[in-house]
Protein backbone atom coordinates (compact mmCIF):
# COMPACT_ATOMS: atom_id res chain seq x y z
CA UNK A 1 0.00 0.00 0.00
CA UNK A 2 1.33 3.42 -0.94
CA UNK A 3 0.08 6.48 0.92
CA UNK A 4 0.59 9.87 -0.60
CA UNK A 5 -0.11 12.97 1.48
CA UNK A 6 0.24 16.38 -0.07
CA UNK A 7 1.31 19.06 2.37
CA UNK A 8 0.52 22.60 1.44
CA UNK A 9 0.23 25.99 3.09
CA UNK A 10 -2.47 28.39 2.08
CA UNK A 11 -4.07 26.03 -0.40
CA UNK A 12 -7.33 27.69 -1.35
CA UNK A 13 -10.44 26.54 -3.11
CA UNK A 14 -13.13 29.07 -3.96
CA UNK A 15 -16.71 28.27 -3.02
CA UNK A 16 -19.57 30.53 -4.03
CA UNK A 17 -22.56 31.13 -1.76
CA UNK A 18 -21.29 29.00 1.10
CA UNK A 19 -23.99 28.78 3.74
CA UNK A 20 -22.57 29.37 7.23
CA UNK A 21 -25.39 27.32 8.78
CA UNK A 22 -24.04 24.19 7.08
CA UNK A 23 -20.95 24.39 9.29
CA UNK A 24 -22.76 22.65 12.17
CA UNK A 25 -21.12 19.53 13.56
CA UNK A 26 -23.29 16.46 13.50
CA UNK A 27 -22.49 13.45 15.62
CA UNK A 28 -21.08 10.66 13.51
CA UNK A 29 -19.11 8.29 15.70
CA UNK A 30 -16.23 6.57 13.93
CA UNK A 31 -13.94 3.91 15.33
CA UNK A 32 -10.72 2.80 13.64
CA UNK A 33 -9.33 -0.46 14.98
CA UNK A 34 -5.50 -0.39 15.17
CA UNK A 35 -5.01 -3.83 16.75
CA UNK A 36 -6.81 -6.18 19.17
CA UNK A 37 -6.59 -3.76 22.14
CA UNK A 38 -6.24 -0.32 20.51
CA UNK A 39 -8.65 1.84 18.54
CA UNK A 40 -9.04 5.48 17.58
CA UNK A 41 -12.44 7.02 18.21
CA UNK A 42 -13.65 10.24 16.57
CA UNK A 43 -16.68 11.57 18.44
CA UNK A 44 -18.01 14.02 15.83
CA UNK A 45 -18.09 14.79 12.14
CA UNK A 46 -18.36 18.09 10.26
CA UNK A 47 -20.14 17.38 6.99
CA UNK A 48 -19.41 20.77 5.40
CA UNK A 49 -15.62 20.19 5.49
CA UNK A 50 -15.83 16.37 5.54
CA UNK A 51 -13.59 15.96 8.60
CA UNK A 52 -13.82 13.98 11.82
CA UNK A 53 -13.06 15.67 15.18
CA UNK A 54 -12.72 15.00 18.92
CA UNK A 55 -10.12 12.23 18.85
CA UNK A 56 -9.95 9.64 21.64
CA UNK A 57 -7.80 6.57 22.11
CA UNK A 58 -9.54 3.40 23.23
CA UNK A 59 -7.12 1.09 25.00
CA UNK A 60 -8.55 -2.12 26.47
CA UNK A 61 -12.07 -0.59 26.43
CA UNK A 62 -10.94 2.58 28.27
CA UNK A 63 -11.62 5.77 26.28
CA UNK A 64 -9.19 8.69 26.76
CA UNK A 65 -9.51 12.07 25.03
CA UNK A 66 -6.40 13.15 23.09
CA UNK A 67 -4.88 16.62 23.51
CA UNK A 68 -6.80 17.95 26.48
CA UNK A 69 -5.20 21.38 26.09
CA UNK A 70 -5.10 23.65 23.06
CA UNK A 71 -2.69 21.41 21.15
CA UNK A 72 -4.21 19.95 17.98
CA UNK A 73 -7.26 22.16 18.59
CA UNK A 74 -9.26 22.86 15.46
CA UNK A 75 -7.74 20.04 13.46
CA UNK A 76 -9.84 17.38 11.85
CA UNK A 77 -9.10 14.07 10.23
CA UNK A 78 -9.72 12.25 6.99
CA UNK A 79 -9.13 9.09 9.05
CA UNK A 80 -5.47 8.43 8.22
CA UNK A 81 -3.55 6.55 10.91
CA UNK A 82 -0.37 4.49 11.16
CA UNK A 83 0.49 2.46 14.27
CA UNK A 84 4.16 1.97 15.20
CA UNK A 85 5.47 -1.63 15.27
CA UNK A 86 5.85 -1.50 19.08
CA UNK A 87 2.25 -0.15 19.38
CA UNK A 88 3.40 2.77 21.57
CA UNK A 89 2.76 5.51 19.00
CA UNK A 90 0.34 6.33 16.23
CA UNK A 91 0.54 8.94 13.48
CA UNK A 92 -2.73 10.65 12.60
CA UNK A 93 -3.53 13.37 10.12
CA UNK A 94 -4.44 16.83 11.37
CA UNK A 95 -6.23 18.95 8.82
CA UNK A 96 -7.41 22.50 9.29
CA UNK A 97 -10.17 23.67 6.97
CA UNK A 98 -11.80 27.02 7.51
CA UNK A 99 -13.89 29.31 5.37
CA UNK A 100 -12.88 32.95 5.07
CA UNK A 101 -15.89 35.05 4.12
CA UNK A 102 -14.99 37.91 1.79
CA UNK A 103 -18.60 39.01 1.50
CA UNK A 104 -22.09 37.77 2.29
CA UNK A 105 -22.06 35.73 -0.94
CA UNK A 106 -18.40 34.74 -1.40
CA UNK A 107 -16.12 32.60 0.72
CA UNK A 108 -12.82 30.83 0.26
CA UNK A 109 -11.91 27.51 1.82
CA UNK A 110 -8.38 27.48 3.27
CA UNK A 111 -6.76 24.09 3.92
CA UNK A 112 -3.64 23.24 5.92
CA UNK A 113 -2.44 19.63 6.11
CA UNK A 114 -0.41 18.46 9.11
CA UNK A 115 0.04 15.26 11.09
CA UNK A 116 0.84 14.34 14.65
CA UNK A 117 2.56 11.53 16.50
CA UNK A 118 0.56 10.46 19.54
CA UNK A 119 1.87 8.66 22.60
CA UNK A 120 -0.77 5.97 23.09
CA UNK A 121 -0.14 5.42 26.81
CA UNK A 122 -0.37 9.14 27.65
CA UNK A 123 -3.00 9.96 24.98
CA UNK A 124 -0.90 12.99 24.22
CA UNK A 125 0.52 14.63 21.11
CA UNK A 126 4.29 14.40 21.30
CA UNK A 127 5.13 15.81 17.87
CA UNK A 128 3.09 17.79 15.39
CA UNK A 129 4.54 18.39 11.95
CA UNK A 130 3.79 19.75 8.55
CA UNK A 131 6.66 18.02 6.79
CA UNK A 132 7.42 14.33 7.02
CA UNK A 133 3.79 13.23 7.12
CA UNK A 134 4.44 11.10 4.05
CA UNK A 135 6.78 8.86 6.06
CA UNK A 136 6.44 5.43 7.58
CA UNK A 137 7.52 3.45 10.64
CA UNK A 138 10.72 1.43 10.47
CA UNK A 139 11.34 -1.79 12.44
CA UNK A 140 12.78 0.24 15.36
CA UNK A 141 9.49 2.19 15.70
CA UNK A 142 11.06 5.36 14.33
CA UNK A 143 9.07 7.62 12.00
CA UNK A 144 11.11 8.04 8.83
CA UNK A 145 10.33 10.57 6.07
CA UNK A 146 9.98 9.41 2.48
CA UNK A 147 13.53 10.66 1.80
CA UNK A 148 14.95 8.44 4.58
CA UNK A 149 15.40 11.02 7.35
CA UNK A 150 14.50 9.85 10.89
CA UNK A 151 11.98 12.37 12.19
CA UNK A 152 11.00 10.71 15.47
CA UNK A 153 12.97 8.24 17.63
Residue 67 has pLDDT above 80, yes or no: no
Q: Evaluate if residue 19 carries a pLDDT over 70.
A: no
Share of the chain above pLDDT 90, in %: 42
Give the mean model confidence (pLDDT) for residues 86-108. 86
pLDDT band, very low/low/confident/very high, at 18 (cuts 50, 70, 90): very low
In 10 A of CB 138, how many CB atoms? 13
- Across the chain, mean pLDDT equals 79
User: Is 37 in contact with 83 (CB distance < 8 Å)?
Assistant: no
Q: What span, in angstroms and rounded, lies between the C-alpha atoms of 25 and 74?
A: 12
pLDDT value at residue 72 = 59
143: left (phi > 0), else alpha (psi -120 to 50), else beta? Answer: beta
What's the DSSP call for residue 71?
T
Say whether pLDDT at 58 is over 50. Answer: yes
Give yes or no for residue 100 having a pLDDT over 50.
yes
Beta bridge partners of 12: 110
- Residue 146's pLDDT is 93
pLDDT value of residue 47: 85
Cα 3 to Cα 81, 133, 136, 147, distances in angstroms: 11, 10, 9, 14
Amino acid sequence: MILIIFITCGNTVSHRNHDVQQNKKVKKDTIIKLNDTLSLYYASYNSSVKLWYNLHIIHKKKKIKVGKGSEFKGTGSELFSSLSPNAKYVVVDGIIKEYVHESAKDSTLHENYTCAILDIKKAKIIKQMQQGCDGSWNKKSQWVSSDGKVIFK
